[in-house]
Amino acid sequence: MKRLKQLFAVLMCTVLLTACSESEAVPETQKPSTPAFVSITSAGVSDYYVIRSDDTDIRAEVDAAVAIRRAIIDATGAEIGISTDWEKNPVYDHEIIVGKTLRDGLEIDTAALGETGYIIKEVDGDIYICGGASAGIRLATDYFVDEFVKNGSDVVIPVGYERVVYHVFDIPALYVDMNQVTKDWKIVIPENAYPRVKESAEQLQSTIASKCGFLLDIVPGDEDVPNAFVLSDIKPEMNGVHTMHVDGTAFIFRSSAGTGVAGCVQRFVELYLSRGVRGKFNFPGDYEYLDLGDLMMVTYPDTK
């Protein structure tokens, strides 16, 4: 009996030792992995070149390329090169590509980024830094330098790193009688519109694009077109006035004043789409505007 007890104790110790040994082993899939980085500089040396477009007319892109190179030199002492995408210049093994260039490694829709939007992305050892406009490229440059260069050591960036920032538009949502204006809406002008009317339609188009983020098509038509801003050739019964009103899903401009419907559109832009106007708002179904010059009567749109 005593021998059986001793044998049982030995077996239990063997089981416990096996269990402890297995619990201490970490499966390969659970071992923490070391983050992979791309080294732009190492011990004060770099084989990177900063590349910008050879024919860019955006001064901010030129300034950004110079600023990035200067920041890296100042922070690390590495003499990083700088060049352009001119076809006779070499393509280097490792590049920091600033702005829109002829390099094929990354397709960038700068229009989608918007005025202050930008992208910073690592692709196969190359770094792309691009903005939707001058403001965006400046913000991207500042972020890259602050995040990766001004750390007092070598400049490294994670493999596959990507940062995309989109512009926040002043009017993220615009409604007509609670119908949201989208990129599928239209700006309607008369079939035989005068040049001044066409120019005012283009002004409205560009202003809505800058404030809301989408470009509306300008098409010929009349007041019956739905989902549209309509520059009508129908004049109000009263002489010398601008009027605006909502009719279903159409926002209609009319004028009998000397400046015509173009002047009415200009008034609309000044009231609702000018600099500093922000937020979501709705033009209700009973919205009406009447401008008599010295006298203005208006039902203002609901705020949301």
**1 in any annotated domain:** no
**157 in any annotated domain:** yes
**64 in any annotated domain:** yes
**2 in any annotated domain:** no
Residues 127, 202 within the same domain: no
- Per-residue pLDDT at 277: 87
Among 105, 136, 165, the domain boundary falls at: 165
For CA atoms 254, 257, 261, 266, the dihedral sign is negative
The radius of gyration computed from the CA coordinates of the chain, to the nearest angstrom, equals 31
Residue 177 in tokens: 């009688």
Residues 158, 200 within the same domain: no
Residues 299, 179 within the same domain: yes
**194 in any annotated domain:** yes
Among 139, 165, 191, the domain boundary falls at: 165
Q: What is the C-alpha separation between 97 and 138, in angstroms, rounded? A: 14
User: What's the Cα-to-Cα distance from 61 to each of 18, 45, 51, 187, rounded to whole Å?
Assistant: 64, 25, 10, 34
Q: What is the C-alpha separation between 141 and 49, in angstroms, rounded? A: 16
Among 165, 194, 227, the domain boundary falls at: 165
**80 in any annotated domain:** yes
**239 in any annotated domain:** yes
DSSP state of 43: T
| Single pTM value for the model | 0.62
Distance of CA 191 to the CA centre of its chain: 35
Domain around 208: 174-303
CATH of the domain at 186: 3.30.379.10
Residues 89, 151 within the same domain: yes
What total number of domains does the chain contain? 2
pLDDT tens digits in sequence order for the chain, 304 residues long: 444 344 333 333 333 333 333 334 444 445 455 569 999 999 999 999 999 999 887 899 999 999 999 999 999 999 999 999 998 999 999 999 999 888 877 777 777 888 899 999 999 999 999 999 999 999 999 999 999 998 778 999 999 999 999 998 899 999 999 999 999 999 999 999 999 999 999 999 999 998 998 899 999 999 999 999 999 999 999 999 999 999 999 999 999 999 999 999 999 999 999 878 889 999 999 999 998 765 556 666 665 4
**297 in any annotated domain:** yes
- Per-residue pLDDT at 263: 94
Residues 203, 149 within the same domain: no
DSSP state of 33: P
Q: What is the C-alpha separation between 81 and 204, in angstroms, rounded? A: 45
